[in-house]
Amino acid sequence: MNIVIAGGHGQIAMRLARLLSARGDAVLSLIRDPAQVDDVRETGAGPVIADLEKLSGDDLVDQLTGANAVVFAAGAGPGSGAARKDTVDRGASAVLADAAEQAGVRRFVQISSMGAGKPPAGGDDVWAAYITAKTAAEDDLRGRDLDWVILRPGRLTDDNGTGLVTLGEPEVGRGEVTRDDVATVIAALLAEPKVNRTTLEVVNGDVPIADAVAALV
């Protein structure tokens, strides 16, 4: 498969690129900062400089043409304000979806967040802006003629992957999930086209990832 990852220097994106490259997929990783090029190359992916906050879908069609799938793994990140939660977590996803539609790439996996899909509960104004942006990005994607999958991870950790998850439609319940396991779930979803046009939540659990994805078919 040929796969394009937006937000290619993110922690989940880097793990995903390594997994996909190791199984023989060709990966392009869209990144904003030229200083990240070497890190991305080490994952086996080809780095492409593309700032989705400044580009339109038209600008990305060439990069996506010929791809089998795209993954939106971008995020404004810690320390960013409410405005960038909107321009990255919502706006950049819409730009990538525009480009996918124009390039004829039907498969679109969007990394969202547990808590999206309903009004923000607790937290500060930045957290509320983040959840609002993720919800808007999900709504935008659901309205498109794409084979989309929205994945909402629980609280992310850097622990070693377990290979065991609870994966299903909302709500699976609050919990933690390792970034390793989220990347592995996405890799499995990309290889299973029968799972599409669905919103999923994932936390660590007791079901092997391959079995959890197969159960969705």
Classify 122 in phi/psi space as left (phi over 0), alpha (psi -120 to 50) or beta. left
pLDDT digits (tens, 9 = 90+) for 120-159: 876 678 889 999 999 999 999 999 999 999 999 999 999 9
The whole-number pLDDT of residue 123 equals 67
Q: Residue 66 half-sphere exposure, CB side, CA atoms within 13 Å?
A: 6
Q: How many domains does the chain have?
A: 1
Q: Which two tokens stand for residue 171?
A: 């709500």
The whole-number pLDDT of residue 79 equals 72
Length of the chain: 217
pLDDT digits (tens, 9 = 90+) for 57-104: 999 999 999 999 999 999 977 777 888 999 999 999 999 999 999 999
pLDDT band at 215 (very low <50, low <70, confident <90, very high): very high
pLDDT digits (tens, 9 = 90+) for 156-180: 999 999 999 999 999 999 999 999 9
Q: Write out the H or E segment, with its range, that includes residue 3.
A: strand 2-6
pLDDT digits (tens, 9 = 90+) for 93-120: 999 999 999 999 999 999 999 999 988 8
Q: Tell me the whole-structure pTM to 2 decimals.
A: 0.95
Range of the domain at 138: 2-214
> Domain holding 124: CATH number?
3.40.50.720
138 closest CA partner among 117, 118, 154, 156? 117
